[in-house]
Amino acid sequence: MMIGRGTLLLIALAVGASAAWAQAKPDFSGTWRLSGTTPPNYPGSAGWGVPSPTISIKQTPAEVTVQSGQYGSNPMTVVYKLDGSDNIWEAPSVTQSGTTATVRWRTKARWDGTRLILFTWNTALNQMRDVMSFGNGTLTIARGTEQPGPSTNATLTYSKAQ
Amino acid sequence: MLRRTLSIAAWLVVLFGFLVLAPRASLQQRTGEPAFAKGGAGEIAGEYEVPDPNWPQWAHPYPKPGYIWGSQGGVFAESADRIYLANRGELKLPDKVPNNFPGNWGFFNQMAATQPIANMVNCIVVVDRNGKLIEAWNQWDKLFDWGRGPHQVYISPYDPQRFVWVVDDMRHVIYRFTHDGKQLVQTLGMLDEFGENDDLTRFRRPTMIDWLPDGTFFVADGYGNTRVVKFDKTGKALLKWGTRGTGPGQFNTPHGIAVGGSPPRVFVSDRGNRRIQVFDTDGKFIEEWPGIAPHSLLMSADEHVWAVDSLTDRIVKFDLSGHVEYSFGQFGTRPGYTWAMHQISADSEGNLYLAEVFGGRTQKYHPKPGADPTKLVWGRSLMPMAAGRTN
């Protein structure tokens, strides 16, 4: 049985659309509230990587903006570009000696399927990697941090604030 | 009066216990025999003369005026005339520097040279036997931005090309440069991305490398992960071993590694667990040597493991069965004393080099006249350079 050219095109479109649907990028926008308590293994200096009780995310096709207290002793608004390029700026951070200094910050983001990986570094030797995924109304963040001190790993779950 | 005298005497006893007995107690080795017994706690520089504080020559423009070299992560003596120094950036000096300032950050005695934020410049330099600058690899300084500079530096003793390997722990990579530093030919790991213990494509703050004669090499990984990764000579990861914990084959900060013996064994400084663990080359656990927490290890030409202990600032010589044969060294910032020896190297003339991360200096120790050769560190001879490659 011969299949017409039009039918083949229709099938190809259907398969393509299906694949695109499967890989649709989730929108993490919203205000999220931490479920449970802060994991106990957070020895980092001055709050680096310590989960905020709430986190506010604004997502556009070009960037993700995160407002949170997880970047140190004071809440910060941090932008991650979604085209894979670096975002670099200067802002205060607590250094390893415990003093606050203006240092360089850098962020980067990458999609891994439907997971969004956010990288944060600063020249006070703080590093954070958040792997964000979304399902059943829950935001899950697999977080790893590095500093000259101990490393941390934690899985954090957030639910949408009403 | 009597009360005051007794009080002073009590303090002196406590001070004696702290300075002399405590370091000894932490250096108990596997036989239960204190390591200091083979050297003596009073031996500051052992069979070496007190180092010249002016080596290397801190001549401008290295570092620039008003700055000083910071934490010294690594040192590797390719020969007595070509010594690589791995500098973790330059630090700004205080506005007023005392006249007797000897030129190293540890002099200030208040803050380790790792803690201020450093400018990543002059990170890899090469000096001659007099400490005079031969090469500055400033073209690669940018690699160390966003990190804390080179962790350690090496050349495989079995490599006729004499590639130079540099570990960058904070950026999670290991670089391989041509001998002259003009080309970066390989990067192991993924820049700025750390991986977990079962990930063979990424490190998590790797610390040190050593080689087998066929080019197979082993990486201690590291501060973040708790494993050793074995690579073939091309850099392909073959296997890994280790998990977090305190049992046999488990690690807490594997920070140093040395390979040698017959059959070859892999000696791993399990720093956080205060021991050296010994494995075969496929990661099978053989034994452990407790009571020492080395920052770094060195396999010497006469097949001994030399360890630089983070607990006592002593340099300890082990035979390959874990018996302590000799030790010397003491914490301090004066010449000959050390503050956190991070890499140990030696040349074939018997000169010893120690890079200090907290002291912020690299010291060169020259043997005393008539020194007992069994108490000197002898660097492994490097394979002759391949034809057509010089410098």
Task: Return the pLDDT at B269.
Answer: 98
Instruction: Identify from A146, A152, A153 which residue to disrupt to test chain B contact, counting B C-beta atoms within 10 A and taking the largest count.
Output: A146
CA–CA separation, A100 and A92 (whole Å): 6
Neighbours of B357 (CB within 10 A): 25
Shortest alpha-carbon distance between residue B247 and chain A (Å): 19
* B170 reaches A (C-beta below 8 A): yes
The structural domain count of chain B equals: 1
- Quick: pLDDT tens for B306-315: 999 999 999 9
- Chain B hits for A121, CB-CB cut-off 8 Å, are 146, 192
- Quick: pLDDT tens for B205-232: 999 999 999 999 999 999 999 999 999 9
Does a structural domain hold residue A13? no
Does a structural domain hold residue B380? no
Angle at B374 between CA B304 and CA B348, to 5 degrees: 75
For residue B111, give the nearest of A97, A123, A151 by CB distance. A97
Task: Return the pLDDT at B325.
Answer: 97
Does a structural domain hold residue A30? yes
Give me the residues paired with residue B259 across strands.
B266
Does a structural domain hold residue B388? no
CB pairs under 8 A between A and B: 46
- Quick: pLDDT tens for A8-50: 666 665 555 545 544 689 999 999 999 976 665 555 556 788 8
Shortest alpha-carbon distance between residue A130 and chain B (Å): 11
Does a structural domain hold residue B230? yes
What φ, ψ does residue A15 adopt, rounded to 5°? -65, -45
Neighbours of B312 (CB within 10 A): 23
Q: Is the pLDDT of residue B7 over 60?
A: no
- Chain A hits for B148, CB-CB cut-off 8 Å, are 125, 148
- A-chain residue closest to B117, CA distance: A124
For residue B170, give the nearest of A103, A108, A125 by CB distance. A125
What mean pLDDT do residues B94-102 have?
A: 86
Please judge whether B115 and A95 are an interchain contact, meaning their C-beta atoms are less than 8 angstroms apart. Answer: yes
Contact B336, B363 (CB under 8 A): yes
Q: Is the pLDDT of residue B138 over 80?
A: yes
Does a structural domain hold residue B391? no
Structural domain of residue A36, as residue ranges? 26-160
Does a structural domain hold residue A21? no
Q: Is the pTM of this model over 0.90?
A: no
- Quick: pLDDT tens for A43-85: 555 678 888 889 999 999 999 999 998 888 788 999 999 999 9
Residue B106 pLDDT level (bands cut at 50, 70, 90): confident
Residues 93-112 of A with CB under 8 A from B: 95-97, 101, 103-104, 106, 108
The residues, any chain, with a CB within 8 Å of residue B7's CB and separated by 6 or more, are none
Please judge whether B115 and A103 are an interchain contact, meaning their C-beta atoms are less than 8 angstroms apart. Answer: no
Instruction: Identify from A107, A118, A127 which residue to disrupt to test chain B contact, counting B C-beta atoms within 10 A and taking the largest count.
Output: A127
Does a structural domain hold residue B19? yes
Dihedral of the CA atoms B11, B12, B17, B20 (nearest 10)? Answer: 150
For residue A144, give the nearest of B145, B194, B223 by CB distance. B194
- B-chain residue closest to A122, CA distance: B146
Angle at B268 between CA B293 and CA B69, to 5 degrees: 60
- Quick: pLDDT tens for A76-114: 999 999 999 999 999 988 877 778 889 999 999 999 999
User: For position B297, which CATH number holds?
Assistant: 2.120.10.30
Please judge whether B192 and A121 are an interchain contact, meaning their C-beta atoms are less than 8 angstroms apart. Answer: yes
Give the three-class secondary structure for B12.
Answer: helix
* A124 reaches B (C-beta below 8 A): yes
Burial category of B348 from C-beta neighbours within 10 Å (exposed 0-12, middle 13-18, buried 19 and up): middle
The structural domain count of chain A equals: 1
User: For position A103, which CATH number holds?
Assistant: 2.40.128.20
What's the whole-number average pLDDT of chain B? Answer: 89
* B103 reaches A (C-beta below 8 A): no
Does a structural domain hold residue B92? yes
Structural domain of residue B76, as residue ranges? 2-375
Please judge whether B223 and A151 are an interchain contact, meaning their C-beta atoms are less than 8 angstroms apart. Answer: yes
Does a structural domain hold residue A95? yes
Angle at A34 between CA A29 and CA A38, to 5 degrees: 140
Query: Running DSSP on this structure, what letter comes out for residue A148?
Result: S
Does a structural domain hold residue B390? no
- Is the Cα dihedral A28, A31, A37, A43 positive or negative? positive
CA–CA separation, B351 and A25 (whole Å): 60
- Quick: pLDDT tens for B111-129: 788 877 899 999 999 999 9
Does a structural domain hold residue A14? no
Does a structural domain hold residue B244? yes
* A33 reaches B (C-beta below 8 A): no
Does a structural domain hold residue A16? no
Task: Return the pLDDT at A12.
Answer: 60
Give the three-class secondary structure for A22.
Answer: helix
> What are the C-alpha distances in Å from A113 to residues A124, B25, B372?
31, 54, 64
Does a structural domain hold residue A2? no
Task: Return the pLDDT at A21.
Answer: 45
CA–CA separation, B165 and B152 (whole Å): 8
Angle at B58 between CA B52 and CA B60, to 5 degrees: 160
CA–CA separation, A43 and A34 (whole Å): 19
Q: Is the pLDDT of residue B337 over 90?
A: yes
